[in-house]
Amino acid sequence: MSETEIDLEAEQYQKHREAGEILAQVRAETADRVEVGVSHLEVAEYAENRIRELGGNPAFPVNISIDEEAAHRTPSVDDDSVFGEEMINLDIGVHIDGWLADTAITVDLSGNPELAEASEQALEAAIDVVEPGVNTGDIGAEIEDVIDGYGYNPVVNLTGHGLGHWEQHTTPNIPNRAVAQGATLEVGDVVAIEPFATDGGGKVTEGGSEEIYSLEREASVRNRQARAALDQITAEFRTLPFATRWLETDRPEMALRRLKRKNVVHGYPVLKEDDGCLVSQKEHTIIITEDGCEVTTRDR
C-alpha cells in the first residue's frame, strides 16, 4: 500500500490513539501507587479497573516483574506479595475494539536509578530515528549503543513488535541490538519499541510459573469448567492474553490445565534474566507517519 493510500485519521488509528491516551494516564497513576509494602494484586487490579473506567479494556494482564524478572509475571487471584526495595517493571496494555496500545515503565525502589535510566534513554534514542524507510536493525543499534554507554547490556532475546487488530505481538520485530537484516518500517505501521537493560549477560529464559494465557485454537470440550472458561475467553478476550484470575468459572486453574492439554490455550512462563541480575524496561507505542512518527503513549 502506498503512503497516499493510508489514511492516518481513519477509525482504527483514532482507536490506537484513544487507547494510548488512556494508557498514558493509567501508567502514571499506577506507577505512583508502587511503594514498599503495597500489594502487587492491589496495583494490578487498580490499573485494570482504571482502564475500564476510562473507556478501554486491558489488552493483557498487567505485568509486574521484579528484579531479575523481565516479563509475563502477573499476580494470582490470592497473591499476597508486596513490593520491597526492588526494581519493578510495569507493562500495561489497552485496547479499543481490538486496536492496541502497549507501554512499560520501571519503578526503581532498589537504588539502581541508572539502570532504569538506561532503558528510558535507549527508548528516546530509538524514537529519534523512527521514520518511514528506517530499518529496524538501525533502531536496535541505537538502543544497544545507549545501553552500552551506561555500562549495561541490552536483553538481546526480547524485542519490540508490531501491534495488529486483536494481536498483541505481530511483525515487525524490533531488536534491542544491531542486526544485519531487519525490516523496513512503512507509513501506517503501529509498533511498540521496548528496550530492556540489564547488569547481567543480556539473555532471558523461561521460568516455571504461568498466570497468563491466550487462545491457541477453538475446540469442543466436555468438562463444564473448561467449557465455561473457553466461552468467556472466545467472547471477551479473543486472541489477546488473559490472566487466570480473570476467569469467572469455578476452579479456573483446573479448567486451564484441561484446555492446555488439548492445545486450546498456551501459557506464558515468567521470563527471567539468566544470571539472576536486574532488568529495567521502558516502552512506547508508535504510529509511523509520513514525516516521522507519533508516540501515542506519551504523558499528556
161 in a labelled binding site = yes
79 labeled binding residue: no
User: Is 206 assigned a catalytic role?
Assistant: no
Is 266 annotated to bind a ligand? Reply is: no
| Of 108, 194, 199, 294, catalytic | 194
What are the respective helix, strand and coil percentages of the chain, to the nearest 5?
Answer: 30, 30, 35
Pairing of strands 57-66, 87-96: antiparallel
Q: Which of 16, 40, 161, 284 is catalytic?
A: 161
The residue annotated as part of the active site, out of 18, 144, 283, 294, is 283
Distance CA 275, CA 268 (A): 20
**Cell numbers that stand for 282 in this block:** 521502558
Q: Which of 45, 124, 169, 266 is catalytic?
A: 169
Q: State yes or no: is 95 an active-site residue.
A: no
Assess whether 194 carries a catalytic annotation.
yes
Residue 144 to residue 123: CA distance in whole angstroms: 10
Q: Which of the residues 67, 86, 102, 273 is marked catalytic?
A: 102
Among candidate residues 67, 68, 91, 144, the one labeled active-site is 91
**What is the SS3 assignment for 188?**
coil
Whether 72 has a binding-site annotation, put simply, is yes
Q: What is the DSSP string of 24-69?
A: HHHHHHHHHT--TT-BHHHHHHHHHHHHHHTT-EEEEEEEEEETTE
Annotated catalytic, 274? no
Rounded Cα–Cα distance for residues 178 and 139 (Å): 7
32 catalytically annotated:
no
Per-residue DSSP letter, 236: I
C-alpha cell recorded at residue 19: 487507547
Measured CA to CA, the distance from residue 256 to residue 270 in angstroms comes to 17
169 assigned to a ligand binding site: yes
Binding site, by residue number, is 72, 91, 102, 161, 169, 194, 283
Binding site for a divalent metal cation, by residue number, is 91, 102, 161, 194, 283
Task: Give the catalytic positions in this structure.
Answer: 91, 102, 161, 169, 194, 283
Binding site for substrate, by residue number, is 72, 169
